[in-house]
Amino acid sequence: MEEIFDHRAAIENIPESPGCYIMRDKKNKIVYVGKAKNLNSRVRSYFNLSGDDRAFISFLPKVLGRIETIVTANEKEAMLLENTLIKSHKPRFNIRLKDDKSFLSLKVNLAGKWPRVEVIRSRPKDRIKRKNQRLFGPFHNAKSLRQTLGILNRYFQLRTCPDKVLNSRTRPCLQYQIKRCPAPCVNAIPVDEYMKNLNEALLFLDGKGDELKKTLEGRMYEASDAMEFESAARIRDQLKSISRSMQRQRAISDTASDRDIFGIYRDSTNVRVEILFVRQGRLEGARGFSFENQEFPDENVMSNFLNQYYANDQFIPHEILIPLALPETQMSSLGEILTEKKGRKVSILVPKRGDKKALLATAAINAEASYVQERDETHKHQALLERLQQKFHLKNFPKRIECYDISNFQGKQIVGSQVVFIDGVADKSEYRRFRMKEVQTQDDFASMHEMLNRRLLKVVNEDEAGPELIVIDGGKGQLGQVVAVLEDLGLNDIDVISLAKSRVDKSGFTDSEVTRSPERVFIPNRKNPIVLKPHAAELYLLERLRDEAHRFAITFHKELRRKETLRSELDNIPGIGPKTRKDLLMHFGSVTKVKQASIDALLDVKGVGRQTAKIVFAYYENDNSD
């Protein structure tokens, strides 16, 4: 008979103090972490059955084995502790944000002669105003950033190349030919004219459309009066394009405010949280997060989400709008934490009427729409994987698929790649790269055996997540290597297939009628391959896996070869240490440029004295004379 958790005995010993409560299951694993102003009252509320129809109430006594508490001085400390515990233990029923990256921004360094706009990943500490530096953003997706950069390159014509490329060029690049850059690298544009372009670009990035429009109209009329009609027409087109771009940025506030607006949508235990980002009164983008197995109520989900989201170095706006009320002390504590991080007051509001309430309704609609879209996409992937399982007689549903590839160059720098698709979608955080340790000659079979053995030993010995299906690029030989490794490690429950590339088939045809055989899939214990229709969705998925594994392996291999080439050439110069090599490469941009440099040019490198310059120059002079 299933043991039921005795909550009455557990609650008796819980203090009436602020802090965190930790729920453990019958296997002593942490399944939920929460915070409270009064721990006893909060935990007691979970087991108050009178009139409480929340789904998780009947669920808890069957799962729980123990409840622990940690007392803190106040609720603010409890909120910080809760976030730490969730990150450390990753409880099953808590919101867990995997995406803790910094955000995309545009930076303009005004200190140089030819400033440029560059893409950076910035954090809140980076947003402190520094002398001669401007930051714009954040951009919450790469698409909006690319659109902005496209307008800047096309209509304001600022350079895109880094300083080391700018300083080393002797003639304009392709960007100049297609009229996307005025070629400051060869002084093709006066500095004052370039700075005019820059100032107009800054007005655009600041969202000062009216001021920018007046400036451009003035330049257009000046060009027209001077009978420079081609320049006037270009500025006219620039005006039209910029006006259209600014109209697409929907103005949703009369004030130039920064706001994050949260919407939430629930479908049983699945929850979608959508955030609308308003910057300077304009809607700049949206971002969504999906969570499964959320048995706890929406108030817990939202409180948990806010605490973790803003702890991940996200941009903090002046105002945060949320769709449901949290306990007043929680709102106050979170507001205090965010105010300290931002350095100015941050308001957390639950609007009941007016324009702000309408904004919450928009966020809720977006949350539902994005949930439905994601659900439909998931169902589509699910159906595809079911067909894959049926077609290849797999023992398991292929939720996690791993694909491997080997790359080498004439038997050197032998490397392997592992790519992972979960639910039919690439999960790049699970990708792995391997350098062969035992195999030192060109032997793809042995290399594959070593790589698979190293990977799957972690499944056996370190409890790493293993695949339901392994896909290999190749024929029966490669398939046999994988089967051998699985048998040696006792992992016979893992399915494996190999995908053999199509071959040229000339039989019975003239050279002008050469055709290709179809892709073939080999499975263990079957003599003949399975041939899929050329445009089958299952084949497309397998080809994506193979091509991604190949790309990942080739990229790693090229990186190693490039490092080896740089190291071997500069390491051969006697008396040149690692720091000097780095300084030379940073200054000139390539080994070729170092090789062509004169002694005077070498002396311009920071840290390079006359003696070192003579050594480098003499080395390459002798090399060239050979």
181 and 41, same structural domain?
no
Q: How far apart are CA 156 and CA 215, in angstroms?
A: 13
Give just the sign of the alpha carbon dihedral 435, 438, 441, 447.
negative
195 and 118, same structural domain?
yes
Cα 232 vs. chain centroid, distance in angstroms?
42
Within 8 A by CB and 6+ apart from 173, the residues are 161, 181, 183, 185
545 and 404, same structural domain?
yes
Q: How far apart are CA 446 and CA 454, in angstroms?
A: 12
pLDDT along the chain (626 residues), means of 10: 66 85 86 88 77 58 82 84 84 70 72 82 52 70 73 79 80 80 84 86 75 81 84 80 59 65 90 86 78 83 88 82 88 89 89 88 88 84 91 92 83 83 89 86 83 90 87 85 89 90 55 59 87 83 90 83 66 80 79 84 86 86 59
Q: The domain spanning residue 306 has which CATH number?
A: 3.30.420
Q: How far apart are CA 483 and CA 491, in angstroms?
A: 9
219 and 119, same structural domain?
yes
Classify residue 22: in a domain, yes or no.
Answer: yes
221 and 112, same structural domain?
yes
Q: Residue 69: which domain range?
A: 7-89
408 and 359, same structural domain?
no
Write the Ramachandran bin of 539: left for phi over 0, alpha for psi from -120 to 50, otherwise beta.
alpha
DSSP secondary structure, 531-593, as one string = E--TT-HHHHHHHHHHHHHHHHHHHHHHHHHHHHHHHHHHHTSTT--HHHHHHHHHHHSSHHH
pLDDT of 507 reads 52
Number of domains in the chain: 5
Q: Which two tokens stand for residue 555?
A: 């990229």
Q: The domain spanning residue 619 has which CATH number?
A: 1.10.150.20
pLDDT of 468 reads 94
Domain boundary among 56, 89, 122: 89
Angle made by CA atoms 428, 496, 446, in degrees to the nearest 5: 85
82 and 115, same structural domain?
no
What are the strands of the beta sheet with 64-71, ordered from one edge? 30-36, 19-25, 64-71
H or E segment and range at residue 368: helix 354-391
405 and 545, same structural domain?
yes
Q: The domain spanning residue 32 has which CATH number?
A: 3.40.1440.10
pLDDT of 565 reads 63
DSSP SS3 for 459: helix
447 and 412, same structural domain?
yes
Q: Which two tokens stand for residue 72?
A: 């803190």
Domain boundary among 89, 113, 130: 89
- Give CA separation, 193 vs 187, 196, 225, in Å: 11, 5, 18
Classify residue 2: in a domain, yes or no.
Answer: no
Classify residue 170: in a domain, yes or no.
Answer: yes
Inter-helix orientation angle 298-309/75-89, to 10°: 80
